Structures are given as C-alpha cells and as structure tokens.
Structure 1
Amino acid sequence: MKYPTLNLISGAFLIGAILIADSLTLMFCITIYLIILAVSSGRKFRILPNLILLITISFAHTLQPNGLVLFMIGNFPITLGALMIGAKKALLLISFIYASHYMMSSRPHIPGKLGNLLTLQFYYFEKLTTMYRSIEKKRPLMGAIDQLLISVEHISLSNEGEEKEERGITRKDIMHRIFHVLFIYLLLFMFATPMKEIVPFIALLP
C-alpha cells in the first residue's frame, strides 16, 4: 500500500463520521479537527471564506422559521432553530471540503476506470478550491471561472505522463491514521444517546 492510498482510506472513514454526526457541537468539533488535519497535510486555511459560508447558509435557513424567536426584522422572525440547522449544514459542507483536501494532499490513484474518474473529480475539486485566489481578474464572474478552469486544465496537461514517486508507508503513518479515525469516532460515541444518559451535561449541548 502506498502513502496516498492510506490517506484516501482514512479520509473515507472520516467522511463516514461526518455523515453520522447529528449534533451541532459534535459537527463543530469534527470540522475543527479536519481543518487541523488538512493544514498539517500542507493545505491552507483561510477564515474569511469559511466564515462567509457559515453566515450565508445559516441565515438562508431563517427563511423557514423554526423554534425560539431571537429577534424580529420587521415582521420577519429570526429563530434559533433555523440558525442551528443552517450552521450544522454549513459545518457539514466545510468539513467535506477539508476532508477532501486531506484525502487529496498526496493525490492518491484509485485503480480502475471508475477509480480514475473519482481521482480526477477529487483533483479538480481540490484545484478549483485552492487556485481561485490566484486569478487576477475576478470580475466578471463567468470570465474568472473560465480562466480558472483553463488554468487547472493546463496544470493537468503539464502533469500528465509525469510519474510522481510515491513513498511507502511506515508503521508510524498507520498509527497516526488510526489515531485520527479513532479520535473522531470517540467523539461520536461521546455524543451518543447512552453517554448523554450517563453525562447529562452532554445532553444540554446543541
């Protein structure tokens, strides 16, 4: 097994945890941990795009009022439940983005035609989310997107046929990945219903 494949497998387990998480606090903890993993793998973290994503998705869900009314904007209520649902979905999206960054940090190669297609999808997604800042003219938006796609295509073509030497994995690599996966699933266990009955404080968290 090669090092990129190890990242891919451990990342798949982490995505499984993201899909299972049903608590806002739990999703926040998982998102922070995935950001740390992505940054430690060489990816950059910019707080402003993530903050904008969190705010816009959260307030978009206020169009469907739910739960306690926090305040009113004219005759329109801003409710706590709607904000929490929106925040959870925003954190879900952010966690997926950084999980994909972590998985693609060493650009794994999945065997087979379907595997090649998935590898390309992950690759283009990673490049599109990291190269937008390098585009000089961001207006008009469609022109910026075209320029971004052309830049990614040129990079892909220039890398085509080049074989990047992939190092093997060590026992330390395996233990690190196991620790990351176990830590995330330990968080899931801590927020499970049986633990909430044992530790009432956890049940009070959103």
Structure 2
Amino acid sequence: MKYSSLRLISGAFIILAIILSESLVLRFLMTFYIIVLALNSGRKFRLLPNIILFISISLANTITPYGLVLFSIGSYPITLGALINGANKALLLISFIYASHYMMSSRPQIPGKLGHLISMQFYYFDRLTTKWRQIEKKTPIIGAIDQLLLGIETEIDEDSIKQTEIKYVKTKDVLIHILHISIALLLLFIFSDMGKNILPFIAQLP
C-alpha cells in the first residue's frame, strides 16, 4: 500500500469522528487534534484567520436566536444556544480545512476516474486554502480572487499533482496511523453515553 493511501484512509476515519462529535467541547478537542496532525505533517497554522472565521460564523448564527438570552442589542437578542450552535459549525469547518491539509500532505492518488476526481477536489481545496493566506490583505476582493485562481492555474498540471516520489507503507507507518485513528475514537467514546456513565462530569460539559 502507498503511504498516501494510508494517510487518506486515516484522514477519512478522523473526519467521520469529527462529523459524529456533537458536544462543543468534543468538537473543539477534535479540531485541536487534527490541527496538531496537520502541523506534524508539515502544514502551517495561522491563529488570526481561524479566530476571524470562528467569530464570524458564531455571530452569523445569532440571526436565528434560541435558548437562554445572554443580552440584547436593542431589540435583537443574543442567545446562548445560537452561539453554541454557531461555534460548533465554525469548528466543523476549521477541522475540515485542516483535515484536508493532513490528507493532502502526501498527495494521495485514488485509482479510477472517480478517484482521480476526488483527488483533484482535495488538491484544489488544499491549494485554495493555502494560497489565500499568501495574498496581501489590502488587495481588493475581486483582484484577490483573480490572483488566487491565476496562481493556482500556473502551478497545477498533471506532473505537479502526481507524487514525484512514491512512498510505500512500513509497519511503523501503519501503527502510527492506527494510533491517530484510535485517539479520535477514544475521544468519541469518552463523550458517548457510556463514557459519561464512567466519567459523570463529561455530561455537564456543553
């Protein structure tokens, strides 16, 4: 098996665990975990863009208020339920971004036409999220989009998308990726009903 395929399988299991996570604390831990994995695979992390994304999505979700009213801006209520729901959505998006970085760090090539299409989608998403951070902040939005797309177009060809060197899986690699998956599954178990029975304080967390 190719190393890139192992990384893709590992990432798919972790994404599934992220999707299944419902607790805000659990999703935060899952997001933190996938960011650590992405950093370990050679990707970069910038705090400010992620904070802006988190705050923007959380506040946008207050358009549909529900739950405990924390305070009001004029006649517009800011509710705890809406903020928690928005924070959950923001963490889900951030975790997906870094999961794609983690999975694409070894440039996986899925066999078949459908597999090639999926590989290309991951590749485009990875390059878009990576190169967007390299654009100067004062660049107008239309110009920034043009610069982004042109930059990706010049570097994307079949040779750049394919792996220049095929790395095959060793026993150590399998064990490491099993550990990655096991940690995600362990977090899911801790926040499950069975886990809450073992650790009652978990049930008190949002």
8 Å Cα contact 1:138/1:144 also seen in 2: no
Go from structure 1 to structure 2 and tell me whether the alpha carbon gap of 1:153 and 1:70 turns closer, same or farther (over 3 Å shift).
same
SS at match of 2:32: helix
The alignment of Structure 1 onto Structure 2 pairs a total of residues equal to 206
Deviation at 1:160, TM superposition (A): 4.8
% identity of equivalent residues: 59
2:182, 2:200 → 1: CA distance?
23
1:49, 1:134 → 2: CA distance?
12
Residue 200 (structure 1) aligned with residue 186 (structure 2):
no
Go from structure 1 to structure 2 and tell me whether the alpha carbon gap of 1:60 and 1:136 turns closer, same or farther (over 3 Å shift).
closer
Unaligned runs of 5+ in 2: none
Task: Map Cα deviations across residues 156-178 of structure 1 (whole Å, 9 max, x no partner).
Answer: 13835976111211111111100
Matches within 5 A, 1:39-118: 39-118=39-118
1:35 is aligned to: 35
1:135 is aligned to: 135
Equivalent position amino acid for 1:91 in 2:
L
Please give the TM-score of this superposition, normalised by the length of structure 2. 0.95
8 Å Cα contact 1:4/1:108 also seen in 2: yes
Task: Map Cα deviations across residues 82-103 of structure 1 (whole Å, 9 max, x no partner).
Answer: 1000000100011111011000
1:197, 1:33 → 2: CA distance?
24
Please give the TM-score of this superposition, normalised by the length of structure 1. 0.95
Deviation at 1:139, TM superposition (A): 2.9
Regions of 4+ moved over 2 Å: 133-140, 157-163
2:14 is aligned to: 14
2:90, 2:162 → 1: CA distance?
37
SS at match of 1:43: coil
CA-based RMSD of the aligned residues comes to 1.6
